[in-house]
Amino acid sequence: MAETYPTPRFGAPREPKAPVDPGSWLVSMLDVVTSSHARAAGFLVLCALLLFLPGFFTIPPVDRDEARFAQATKQMVESGDYVDIRFQEDVRYKKPVGIYWLQSAAVEAATALKLPKAELRIWVYRIPSLLGAIGAVLMTYWAALGFVTRRAAVLAALLMCASVLLGVEARLAKTDAMLLFCVTAAMGAMSRAYLSWQRAEDETHPPWSWPAIFWTALAVGILIKGPLILMFAGLTIVALAILDRDASWLWKLRPVWGLMWMLVLVLPWFIAIFWRAGDAFFADSVGGDMLSKIGAQESHGAPPGLYLALFWITFWPGAPLAAMAAPAVWRARREPGAQFLLAWLIPSWIVFEAVLTKLPHYVLPLYPAIAILTVGALERNVLSRSWLARGSAWWFAIPAAASIIAVVGAVMLTRQPAFVAWPFIAASLIFGLFAWWLFDTNRAERSVLNALVAALMLAVVVWGIVLPSLTPLFPSIEVARALRNVSCVGPKAAAAGYHEPSLVFLTGTRTLLTEVDIPNPDGTLTAGVYCTIELHIPRKTPSLLLPADAIIFRGDGSQVAVIENGTAHIRKVSVSRDLGTQVEVDDGVEAGDQVIVNPPVAIIEGSRVRPRAEPATRVSRTP
């Protein structure tokens, strides 16, 4: 790329100044952090936190999957039953128990650390996803070290870290970030065994670390999301066996011992849930969830090619570079490293495109292979110089489009233009512009680093500022806040028509989801109107009302002092509702009993009393 200098002004020195390179400081920083594995790992963790934490604590529960996972975990903690999985009274057997255990551990740890109302804070349930996303970034770095240099491995991990799809999953209390961590660890271990065999390394005693990582990752992945992780590993093995006409390298993974170890890890819970629910779990998870995805499930059907179309957004900012690397990768497809990565990528991608049910996160475990292939081409300086190089404009186009959508959405929904986000929008556009204008296939690393900074600024805008401010998108928050302001103690919520799982999570497990048909012939009731309704329901057995000042609070429960023949008798009562100046009790007294109001602290069973008009009152029935 030719560098030009402006014509000097009159009287200015004739020697040109050193040109300013907006990416030079980023390249220098990369030189420093890649000097050791410890520095590289620390740098990647820092970058992951900077990219994943904006919005992590402030985005409300997202319907529907996140809220369902969180509510099922909440019920697991409330009940102390860590085997069964339920959403209210319904069983939730679509996924195994792994993610619920991890989220339960996060809630229990937060409670032990005295975090107020830890069970209602959705970010606590997101901690396993955050850790899984960070772990996936580190595992991408570790897996890439088997194919490229340390510097390129850091770039591959950064491409994964900044990808839009992983940023979404890191902020959702679901299974996919942790599944990505397991898949990347397993494939990284498998790649080392395969490449060692390809290099004909004669190891009398191959290391146990590769099999240990591989089979443990498979076991955890099965507990997280069922047998899906076996598909990624199995299709890779089958593809390599067909291409090489040999699969003897699998012995390096010690399959006999490894399979037994995997069964030791996964069988206890599967046996426990079978003992508890019979074959209901397997019928729902395999037949009702996994196999039903072959058809269009929950209106998520789409034609083949959807994942390829979404790739330009979900893998941004790595997508333009991946397109430029594609021709070189295909030319090198018979090289052992490229062959393994393509075997990881292509068969599973074809399966996902063929299946009718399509959700963007399904292909996330394939992205590390794309990232490693991309930086391999970048490191060799074999990126395409054809029309594909024009894709570098995508580094500027995405920040520009996302910024416009974010600001317009904020104005439409909140009537506020999100001024706080504007400096970050400007920074994202500037770095995206640098990445585009300065792109040169000989110095592509500089543009990639500028694009990564643009992605960081954009994450602050979208996740950290704009999305949490869009309160109309999260009505459950307002409903839960309204319930906290009601006068009665321990209200039970009932929702008519609005049945989002986030409402149950925020208002309580006992929230009743129902339908109410109200005549509205004149259109008085309109959508979005808030109102308070009192339902007067006749009781078959009316409760008893007592003055609130008659209740005696002691260590063995609530009591009242009843006067009989001038003697005080202490009776235990069960308070069902606190109505302010009165309380409603279910037992312990009868209608007409005379109780003492504001009894003295020293009153005991058998105390002699002399009734007066004011301090004693009669128990009455509720209507």
Which ranges of 438-573 does DSSP label H, i.e. alpha helix? 444-459, 467-469, 475-484, 501-507
* pLDDT band per the 50, 70, 90 thresholds, residue 164: very high
pLDDT at 16: 46
Helices marked H in 278-331: 280-282, 306-314, 319-331
- The answer to whether 354 and 367 are in contact (CB under 8 A) is no
- Nearest-angstrom CA–CA distance, 319 and 311: 7
- Average pLDDT in the chain: 87
The tokens 């020697």 sit on which residue? 15
Q: How many percent of the chain have pLDDT more than 90? A: 58
Tell me, what's the pLDDT at 490?
59
Residue 7: band (very low, low, confident or very high) from pLDDT cuts 50, 70, 90 = very low
pLDDT of residue 421: 95
Q: Does an H or E element contain 552, and which? A: strand 552-554
| pLDDT over 90 at 309, yes or no | yes
- Rounded to whole angstroms, the Cα distance separating 451 from 445 reads 10
* pLDDT higher at 158 or 495: 158
pLDDT in tens, 20-45: 456 678 888 999 999 999 999 999 99
Predicted pLDDT at 13: 43
Here the tokens at position 508 are 């309580």
- For 495-506, how does the pLDDT look when each residue is reduced to its tens digit (9 = 90+)? 877 888 999 999
Q: Comparing 76-80, 415-419, 424-428, 537-541, which segment has the lowest mean pLDDT?
A: 537-541
End-to-end Cα, the chain, rounded Å: 88
Residue 494's nearest CA partner among 478, 481, 483 is 483
Question: Beta strand 544-547 with 594-596: parallel, antiparallel or unpaired?
Answer: unpaired
pTM for this one?
Answer: 0.82
> Is residue 230 helix, strand or coil?
helix
Q: Which percentage of the chain shows pLDDT scores above 70?
A: 87
Residue 213, pLDDT > 80, answer: yes
Which helix (H) or strand (E) segment holds residue 576: the answer is: strand 575-578
pLDDT range class, residue 607, cuts 50, 70, 90: confident
Judge whether residue 147 has pLDDT over 80. Answer: yes
| Contacts of 326 by beta carbon, 8 Å cutoff, 6+ apart | 384, 388
pLDDT given for residue 443 in this prediction = 81
Place of tokens 């009153």: 603
DSSP annotation of 145 reads T
* pLDDT for residue 540: 55
CB 598 within 8 A of CB 615: yes
What would the two tokens of residue 297 be?
């499930």
How many H-runs (helices) and E-runs (strands) does the chain carry?
22, 13
Say what the pLDDT of residue 42 is.
97
The pLDDT of residue 534: 67
Residue 3: pLDDT band (50, 70, 90) is very low
Specify which of 134-138, 273-277, 442-446, 511-515 reaches the highest per-range mean pLDDT: 134-138
| Residue 32, phi then psi, degrees to nearest 5 | -70, -45
Of residues 565 and 360, more confidently modeled: 360
Read off the pLDDT of residues 348-367 as tens digits, 9 standing for 90 and up.
999 999 998 889 999 999 99
Phi-psi sector, 587: left (phi>0), alpha (psi -120 to 50), beta: beta
- Cα 168 to its chain centre, rounded Å, is 7
- Under the banding of pLDDT at 50, 70 and 90, the label for residue 526 is confident
Mean pLDDT is lowest, of 10-24, 248-262, 292-306, 518-532, for: 10-24
